[in-house]
């Protein structure tokens, strides 16, 4: 599938099964996969539609969907060893979606030989699309994105509630992210924050945005100092940073966080 065709797929699926449920979910359309881990009928239906289209176009690729992995852990094993793979997050930011916040997204990433080569983020309520291709740049609605330099004050955000308000060294205290990787990574690219710390490291959450950020001049790596690899065993934490220098600075201070 051409890059534009995959984006069209995400837009069409969102229009069909996600948008009609926004702020209109019935109680029976929401369930829990685990404590605090919500899933809706929109998540399930969108993932099936996107996965079926990708499998039809790429029958030899492994498609790792968030909901499929929740139901069958062996999908993660096949994905980890696949030469060609896709990740699918049908509704990233499900809690936001359920609560009526427009900060949610539909995301797909394509990987070849362990590297993310293309990624797509569609924010259906904001009507904004982000697309990245390895070596060809990051784009917002067809406009090339370059991460702006940060100012004297380095702003950090995190989705780990126990880290909010903590300061790494002399850096500004951590603030809450937008609680949706499909919004967090674009906001990092656009300069709303200079780094983000994540304790959750699922590939469907981070593979798409990691390529968008790196193609715009940023860097994504583990708490341990290694570059992020979505098919590697899940690291204990990730740092998504405006540039390599910011990553190196933050990575050296991460051990001071509680719970590590």
pLDDT in tens, 49-87: 999 999 999 999 999 999 999 889 899 999 999 999 999
The pLDDT-based confidence of 151 (bands split at 50, 70, 90) is confident
pLDDT for 33: 80
For 7-11, which contacts have Cβ atoms below 8 Å and span 24 or more sequence positions?
A: 7/120, 7/122, 7/129, 7/131, 9/50, 9/53, 10/50, 10/106, 10/108, 10/120, 10/122, 11/122, 11/124, 11/129
Distances (CA, A) of 135 to 31, 54, 67, 113, 115: 40, 23, 30, 15, 12
Q: Which of 185, 159, 186 is nearest to 174 (CA)?
A: 159
**How confident is the model over 169-173, as a mean pLDDT?**
94
Q: How far is CA 73 from CA 35, 68, 79, in A?
A: 18, 8, 10
Residue 223: what pLDDT? 97
Give the contacts of 252 (CB within 8 A, at least 6 positions apart): none
The string of pLDDT tens digits covering residues 79-115 is: 999 999 999 999 999 999 999 999 999 999 999 999 9
């Amino acid at each position: 599938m051409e890059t534009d065709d995959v984006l069209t797929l995400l837009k069409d699926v969102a229009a069909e099964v996600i948008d009609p449920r926004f702020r209109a979910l019935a109680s029976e359309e929401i369930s829990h996969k685990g404590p605090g881990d919500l899933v809706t009928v929109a998540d399930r239906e969108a993932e099936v539609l996107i996965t079926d289209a990708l499998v039809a176009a790429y029958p030899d690729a492994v498609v790792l969907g968030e909901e499929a992995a929740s139901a069958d852990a062996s999908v993660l094993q096949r994905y980890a060893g696949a030469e060609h793979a896709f990740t699918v997050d049908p509704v990233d930011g499900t809690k936001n979606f359920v609560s009526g916040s427009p900060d949610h997204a539909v995301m797909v990433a394509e990987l070849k030989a362990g590297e993310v080569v293309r990624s797509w983020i569609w924010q259906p309520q904001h009507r904004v699309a982000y697309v990245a291709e390895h070596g060809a740049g990051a784009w917002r609605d067809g406009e090339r994105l370059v991460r702006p330099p940060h100012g004297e004050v380095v702003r950090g955000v995190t989705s780990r509630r126990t880290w909010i308000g903590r300061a790494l060294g002399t850096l500004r205290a951590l603030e809450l992210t937008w609680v949706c990787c499909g919004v967090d990574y674009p906001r990092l690219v656009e300069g709303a924050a200079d780094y983000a710390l994540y304790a959750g490291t699922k590939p469907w959450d981070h593979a798409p945005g990691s390529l968008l950020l790196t193609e715009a001049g940023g860097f994504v790596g583990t708490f341990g100092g290694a570059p992020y690899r979505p098919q590697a065993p899940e690291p204990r934490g990730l740092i998504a940073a405006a540039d390599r220098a910011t990553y190196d600075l933050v990575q050296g201070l991460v051990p001071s966080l509680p719970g590590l």
